[in-house]
Each structure stands twice: as structure tokens, then as C-alpha cells.
């Protein structure tokens, strides 16, 4: 039986800079593309950006350079909201009160906080016109949410028959959809359907990636083309975007929107990541390893001033963990997958309860 390795990259906004620095350092020590060691790469939100680049065959250094060049640009604040008519007189006072109570102004009550045009420019320049059909270096999955259908959606390479349906989508559009965190960026329209950040349901895509390997095992059975492996041969390396000592003290005996609105996203994503460690450790044992770094506080998704510290922490963690990561994961060489590439392959797997 073959060995099957997964690289799982967790969401976390600009904290993805840690992942790029960490992988760049590992790759330089390894002397070859990091993606060559993994049969499947999964990424949520900022992790999806990095995962897409690696799965296309880009080096970790190229993805690091992308964050160096575009990190601050991606989180370009919009110009102040201009109220109209009678609201011109009410808005300044209401905005001050709201900012005092929540830490952010009323601008974010009417629209997303950051400019979508800067995001579009960065990804268009980074990925060009390449489509998901171009993803052949290694397998890729990126979770998102299809708002129009009211269900999770997984963008994937053509390693499964289901992947054919999205094969003509531009990678830049996919990563914009998969990083459109509610309140941070506007939703993304693709084929007349609205998508948002997969971190809403899969901030840590590790369990999703493990499920994908089981799906590959079940549906990819082309003789001489697809790998044969057992669950006992699945190994998963997860890389986080910061581990905070996270706690909250709700005011009094109750708390409402003013308290929860600026906190609920961080609470949900942090809890999701923490909650997955136990089942993954139970399923995979020592074949599951997680790399992260401690944060004294919860660094915000858009705090671009932390980029230098994140880069430095990535380099430090790579130095600290290289030996065991190399022994456990980096000696493996993935077999390049054979894509499904015709409409006839695009079978409907709904009967199996799969996206």
C-alpha cells in the first residue's frame, strides 16, 4: 500500500504570513518544492491562497514573496462612509457611540470593511489567468460557502470526478471567494451564485482533508492511474496561524450584539481549530502533527503591522521543528495525480451525501 500525505493550512487572515515564512524555511532546508512531499494540500481562507499556489507548482518562497508584496495591500481600508440626507446629522454621533461600544465604527454596519478592488488586483497579478484545470502539481481543496444554495462548497482540482465542474474557474476568483470573510470583504459572485470564506465552517480544513482522502480511496480506482492506500497510511501535517490564550468575560449576567459582534468570528474560528485536535489525534495517532506558535493575545485577522513578527516567528518555528518534520513528512515524494478531464467524468455524487 502507498503512503498518502496531507498538508493542511489553517485560516487566519494576515496571520497566514507565518505559514509562508515557515514553509519557505523548510523548503530551503529541504532543497526542493515543499509540495512534492504532499499528495493533497488543503487550505482555508488565507491558507487557501497559499495552498492554491503550492498546488499549482509555485514554491513556498514565491508564496512568501506574495505576502511580502501584497500583504498590506490586501487589507486596504475603504474610504469613510458618507451618510446621505438626514443621516448626515445623526451618523457622526451614532458612529462615535458605536465605536466606543464595539471598537469599530458604523461604517462596517453598512458594508464590508476592506476594499475588494485591492484584493482583486493582488490575486490577478499573483495567479494570472490560470484556472483550476491548471492545478496538476498536486491535489487541492479549498472550502467556501455557497450562500445562494445555503450549503458548504469545496473548490478542488480534478483529482475527483466532481472536480471537473469547477475546472474552468480562475484560481484568482476561487481564492477571492474563499477569503471573502463576512464583514471583512464583500461576498464573491461566481456563475450567478454568491460565495464567502470557508472559515465559516472549516477554519481548520484538516478533517475535511482527511475525508477527502477517504473519498479518493473510494472513487479513484482507475487501474494503473490512481493510488491504493489504507487509512493506516494517511499522514497529516497541519500548520496553524497562531494559538491564543483565549478567554472572554461577558458583562454581567447577559450580553448582546454590541458585545458579541466584534468577538464572535475570532471565538468561532479559535474554537473550531482547538476542537479538531482531539478527533484527529484519535483517528491518526502519531500520523497527525500540528505546528503553531503562541500568541499573548488574539492577533486580529487584519493587523498588518504584525507581518514582520509573523515572518520572524515562521523562521524560528521552522528551525525548531525541521528535524522531526523532515523525518516524519519530507522524505515522502508524491506521485503526480492523473486528472479527470472530460464532462463524462463529472458525475453527480449527491447520492453519497458529498458536495
* pLDDT less than 50: residues of the chain: 346, 349-352, 354
50 and 154 together in one domain: yes
> Do 95 and 160 fall within a single domain?
no
Q: In whole angstroms, what is the distance from residue 285 CA to residue 298 CA? A: 29
Cβ–Cβ contacts within 10 Å for residue 252, how many? 6
From CA 19, how far away is CA 291, in angstroms rounded?
Answer: 10
As a whole number of angstroms, the distance between CA 245 and CA 299 comes to 11
Residues composing the chain: 355
Q: Does residue 238 carry a catalytic annotation?
A: no
106 plus 246 within the same structural domain: no
Q: Which of 57, 89, 112 is the last residue of a domain?
A: 112
Domain containing residue 103 = 80-112
Give the active site residue among 8, 45, 167, 238: 45
Which residue out of 107, 166, 197, 204 is catalytically annotated?
197
Residues 338 and 289 in one domain: yes
Number of domains the chain is built from: 2
**Is 211 tagged catalytic?**
no
Query: Is the same domain home to 91 and 14?
Result: no
CATH number of the domain within which 45 lies:
3.40.1090.10
Same domain, yes or no: 104 and 88: yes
140 and 255 housed in the same domain: yes
> What distance in Å separates the CA atoms of residue 201 and residue 272, rounded to the nearest whole number?
8
The domain boundary, picked from 60, 95, 112, lies at 112
Same-domain status, 202 and 342: yes
Domain-ending residue, one of 93, 112, 131? 112
C-alpha 75/C-alpha 307 separation (Å) is 12
Q: Are residues 94 and 43 in the same domain?
A: no
Q: Which of 29, 23, 28, 25 is nearest to 10 (CA)?
A: 23
Indicate whether 45 and 90 sit together in one domain.
no
Distance CA(259)–CA(316), nearest Å, equals 36
Residues 148 and 278 in one domain: yes
Q: How far apart are CA 126 and CA 111, in angstroms?
A: 26
Beta strands in the chain (DSSP E): 4-9, 40-43, 139-146, 151-156, 188-190, 193-197, 234-239, 243-244, 288-291, 294-295
Cα atoms in the Cβ-side hemisphere of radius 13 Å centred on 282: 6
Task: Tell whether 66 and 164 lie within a shared domain.
Answer: yes
Q: What is the pLDDT of residues 33-73, one digit of tens each?
A: 999 999 999 999 999 999 999 999 999 999 999 999 998 88
Amino acid at each position: 500500500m502507498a503512503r498518502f500525505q496531507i498538508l493542511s493550512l489553517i485560516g487566519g487572515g494576515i496571520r497566514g504570513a507565518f505559514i509562508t515564512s515557515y514553509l519557505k524555511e523548510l523548503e530551503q532546508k529541504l532543497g526542493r518544492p515543499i509540495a512534492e512531499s504532499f499528495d493533497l494540500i488543503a487550505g482555508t481562507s488565507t491558507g487557501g491562497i497559499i495552498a492554491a499556489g503550492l498546488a499549482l507548482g509555485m514554491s513556498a518562497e514565491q508564496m512568501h514573496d506574495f505576502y511580502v508584496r501584497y500583504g498590506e495591500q490586501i487589507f486596504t481600508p475603504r474610504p469613510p462612509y458618507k451618510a446621505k440626507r438626514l443621516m448626515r446629522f445623526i451618523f457622526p454621533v451614532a458612529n462615535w457611540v458605536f465605536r466606543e461600544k464595539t471598537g469599530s465604527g458604523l461604517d462596517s454596519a453598512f458594508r464590508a470593511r476592506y476594499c475588494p478592488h485591492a484584493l482583486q488586483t493582488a490575486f490577478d497579478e499573483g495567479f494570472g489567468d490560470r484556472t483550476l484545470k491548471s492545478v496538476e502539481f498536486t491535489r487541492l481543496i479549498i472550502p467556501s460557502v455557497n450562500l445562494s444554495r445555503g450549503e458548504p462548497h469545496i473548490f478542488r482540482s480534478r483529482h475527483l470526478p466532481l472536480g471537473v465542474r469547477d475546472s474552468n474557474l480562475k484560481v484568482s476568483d476561487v481564492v477571492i471567494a474563499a477569503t471573502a470573510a463576512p464583514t471583512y470583504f464583500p461576498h464573491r459572485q461566481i456563475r450567478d451564485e454568491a460565495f464567502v470564506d470557508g472559515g465559516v465552517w472549516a477554519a481548520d480544513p484538516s478533517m475535511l482533508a482527511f475525508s477527502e482522502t477517504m473519498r479518493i480511496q473510494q472513487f479513484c480506482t482507475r487501474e494503473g492511474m490512481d493510488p491504493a492506500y489504507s487509512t493506516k497510511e494517511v499522514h497529516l501535517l497541519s500548520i496553524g496561524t497562531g494559538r491564543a490564550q483565549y478567554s472572554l468575560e461577558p458583562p454581567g449576567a447577559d450580553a448582546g450584539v454590541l458585545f458579541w459582534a466584534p468577538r464572535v468570528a475570532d471565538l468561532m474560528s479559535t474554537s473550531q481549530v482547538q476542537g479538531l485536535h482531539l478527533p484527529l489525534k484519535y483517528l491518526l495517532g502519531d500520523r497527525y502533527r500540528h505546528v503553531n506558535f503562541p500568541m499573548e493575545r488574539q492577533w486580529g485577522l487584519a493587523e498588518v503591522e504584525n507581518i514582520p513578527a509573523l515572518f520572524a516567528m515562521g523562521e524560528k518555528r521552522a528551525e525548531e521543528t525541521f528535524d522531526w518534520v523532515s523525518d516524519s513528512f519530507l522524505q515522502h515524494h508524491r506521485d503526480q495525480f492523473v486528472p479527470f478531464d472530460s464532462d463524462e467524468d463529472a458525475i453527480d455524487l449527491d447520492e453519497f451525501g458529498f458536495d
